[in-house]
Amino acid sequence: MSPRRADLPLGGDATRRFIPLIVGAMVYLAALALAGTFALDGTVQQWSDSLRGALTVQLPGVAQAPEGDEAQARIDAAVGLLIEIPGVLSATALPHEQSQALLEPWLGAGDLPADLPIPIIIDVSVDAGARINYEQLGQRLEEVVPGARINDNGVFLARLVTLARVVQLVGIVVVFIVAVAAVSIVVFATRAGMTSHRDTIELLHLIGARDNYIARRFVTHALSYGLAGGILGLVLAALTLGALALAAQGVDQTLLPRLSLDLTAWIALLCVPLASAVIAMVTARMTVLRALRRLP
């Protein structure tokens, strides 16, 4: 005797084959969208931090040795002006080698011609709460060092941060849409199961089964395909992320923001199959209980 054989043979219909695959595809999309959102989060945070208290001043380069008097005079003049400005915490010129290194992605790593005027970069730290009139500061710098220019990183970074936040929002919307689609699929699958097993359900009802007893059969079934599909989707998503990480290794890191997942992100991704199982279970239960209310 096998008294635990299911009285509702839900696994025997078409949902057994197709629903786990569909749920897997949903979880795959949700996991990728979630991974993208989390990966951007660190970068956005980094950019946001950069927004506060940092700007650079670029002075025109001189076609002579960097330690030359002319170059040093420009640096001294600009730094002297900058540190007088209320709110400026420090102003330091980047060493010539560092300025050269910044150009390497475009000009290569070889020795640059000595007469190439490499711009002088001054890294300025600013009090985050300071209100500095950058337009006026630019004019004053222009007076002491003609051709000096303030690179207001803030504007550029702010746009980047906004873009990244929008991308993150899109990721969350994708996760939401996928969840709604998953709920719809579970409702469809559950209703299909109820229709194909209508006689059995009616019999169980007539011999005294409570609604919960019948719903439990569907919930257990939903748990199995929700979990199976969830794990399938997560494994595929992990493989995809691994492949992307591998492909990114071959790209110059200076051209890409640092995209990585921290522990929280990995935990969240691991929760996706569980979430898909829970969504499937709750949806199946609600669908069945609602339908059973039509029986006397």
Applying CB under 8 A, the residues found at the interface with other proteins are 1-3, 5, 7, 9, 12, 199-200, 203-211, 213, 293, 295-296
Q: How far is the CB of 271 from other proteins (least distance, A)?
A: 34
Is the Cβ of residue 207 or residue 255 nearer to other proteins in the bound state? 207
Q: How far is the CB of 1 from other proteins (least distance, A)?
A: 6
CB atoms within 10 A of CB 104: 13
Q: How far is the CB of 277 from other proteins (least distance, A)?
A: 25
CB burial class (10 A; 0-12, 13-18, 19+) of residue 38? Answer: buried
3-state SS class at 90: strand
Report d(CA 41, CA 238) in Å as an integer. Answer: 19
Q: What tokens were used for 181?
A: 């689609």
Beta-bridge mates of residue 90: 125
Q: How far apart, in Å, do the first and last CA atoms of the chain sit?
A: 33
Q: How far is the CB of 42 from other proteins (least distance, A)?
A: 51
Q: How far is the CB of 187 from other proteins (least distance, A)?
A: 23
Report d(CA 76, CA 242) in Å as an integer. Answer: 49
Is the Cβ of residue 131 or residue 293 nearer to other proteins in the bound state? 293
Is the Cβ of residue 7 or residue 152 nearer to other proteins in the bound state? 7
Spatial contact of 200 and 277, defined as CB atoms under 8 Å apart: no
Is the Cβ of residue 84 or residue 202 nearer to other proteins in the bound state? 202
